[in-house]
Amino acid sequence: MPVKIIASIVGARPQFIKSAPVSRALSSRFREVLIHTGQHYDYGMSEIFFQEMEMHPPDFNLGVGGGSHGEQTGRMLIELEKVVGEVKPDCILVYGDTNSTLAGAVTAAKAGIPLAHVEAGLRSYNRTMPEEINRVLTDHISNFLFCPTDAAIENLAKEGVVNGVYRVGDVMYDALLHNLTIARRRSQVLDRLSLSRKAYALTTVHRAANTDDPERMRSILDALSALPLKVVFPVHPRTRKMIQEWGLTANSNVSFIEPQGYFDILMLQENADCILTDSGGMQKEAYLLGVRCITLREETEWVETVSSGWNRLVGVDQEAIRAAVTDWHPQEGRPPLYGDGHAAEQICEILSRSLNS
């Protein structure tokens, strides 16, 4: 029997991290073709992750780049259709909730190719978020829905999606377990930035609801400026562009730095006093690392991090941000919410059973 082909579609930093353990698992049973849409395209947000995690370079890089949501997704669809027609995969695999996810999903559905969605079933229930639209649409046309949590399965059931649903755990936990020891050995980021353990806060901001609203960004920067500790802020290129465009500034305790590689980010997270972020992936990683997380949003798709007492939703309210940093500390233990670190192996086993039968 010829080896089945899996076309894995990625385009953004979190997807490179998620795909690494899955690619390792797939390599024993499938031929994987890795397609990079080019949604994240500068070195600090893209190439360095393939190098650090020792992933083979993408077989195709579509070089789509930036643009509006519609423009970006449309260009991806055009290019993906060409590549899929050439590769003729037996299954298309997508990750998360980006425009690359939606474009890959629509391409699969239009071509009549089975679609697998890693990180299925997540919901913020905020339809103003582009990511929420991408999640919902992708889930409703997927054949294999690989859920990280029980809550994700419950969300799908509410929408009538019950077939092809599997609770496998979270592949980001797989990636963290694989890479944390390496990061501790290799990363020199604390020395390079003259940071002491637990003496700084780590911040990331990239979601359009924050970056595209000057008042929200101003409120975040003012809140960070008023904190009684150093703030390390690796700035997403788009976030930097908007901060400069609006002429926003912060006090000297806020250190704006370039985006960091995965190993350095892991070390910055593990050694931080707290993490302030609007990133879903970083909320999870903070939980897994035992670092309190303060989420700069009004809702989260990772609801279990909040209910377990390790994540606090503060939006952009300056007083709420300050109070969370200075007065709030988790008391409870951390139950194993995200599986046992073998999600990628389960995904490979399920796909192998289904596609090779």
Q: Write down all domains in the chain, each with its CATH number in brackets.
A: 5-170+339-355 (3.40.50.2000), 178-327 (3.40.50.2000)
Q: In degrees to the nearest 10, what's the CA dihedral of 170, 171, 176, 177?
A: 90
Q: Which structure tokens are listed for 299?
A: 């809702």
Q: Residue 238: its pLDDT value, please?
A: 86
Q: Which residues pair with 147 in a beta bridge?
A: 167
Residue 75 amino acid letter: R
Instruction: Print burial letters for 129-165: b (CB count within 10 Å at least 16), e (below 16).
Output: bbbbebbbbbbeebbbbbbbbebbbebbeeeebeebb
The Cα–Cα gap between 301 and 286 comes to 15
8-state DSSP, 341: S
Q: Which of 178, 206, 329, 342 is catalytic?
A: 206
Print pLDDT tens along the chain (357 aa). Answer: 689 999 999 988 889 889 999 999 999 999 999 999 986 555 444 566 667 766 778 999 998 876 777 888 999 999 999 999 999 999 999 999 999 999 999 999 999 999 999 999 999 999 988 899 999 999 999 999 999 999 999 999 999 999 999 999 999 999 999 999 999 999 999 999 999 999 999 999 999 899 999 999 999 999 999 999 999 999 988 899 999 999 999 999 999 999 998 899 999 999 999 999 999 999 999 999 999 999 999 999 999 999 999 999 999 999 999 999 999 999 878 999 999 999 999 999 999 999 987
> What is the per-residue pLDDT for 44?
46
Q: Report the alpha-carbon distance of residue 211 to residue 323 in Å, rounded.
A: 23
**Structure tokens belonging to residue 313:** 């939703």
Which pLDDT does position 150 carry in this prediction? 94
Report the pLDDT value the prediction gives residue 41, as an integer from 0 to 100: 53
> Is 236 annotated in the active site?
no
- What pLDDT score does 40 carry? 57
pLDDT for position 49: 61
d(CA 306, CA 313): 8
Classify residue 94 as left (phi > 0), alpha (psi -120 to 50) or beta.
beta
Q: What is the pLDDT of residue 47?
A: 66
Say what the pLDDT of residue 149 is: 95
Of 291, 244, 241, the closest CA to residue 265 belongs to 291
- Which helix (H) or strand (E) segment holds residue 61: the answer is strand 60-61
**337 to each of 68, 71, 305, how far by Cα in Å?**
35, 37, 8
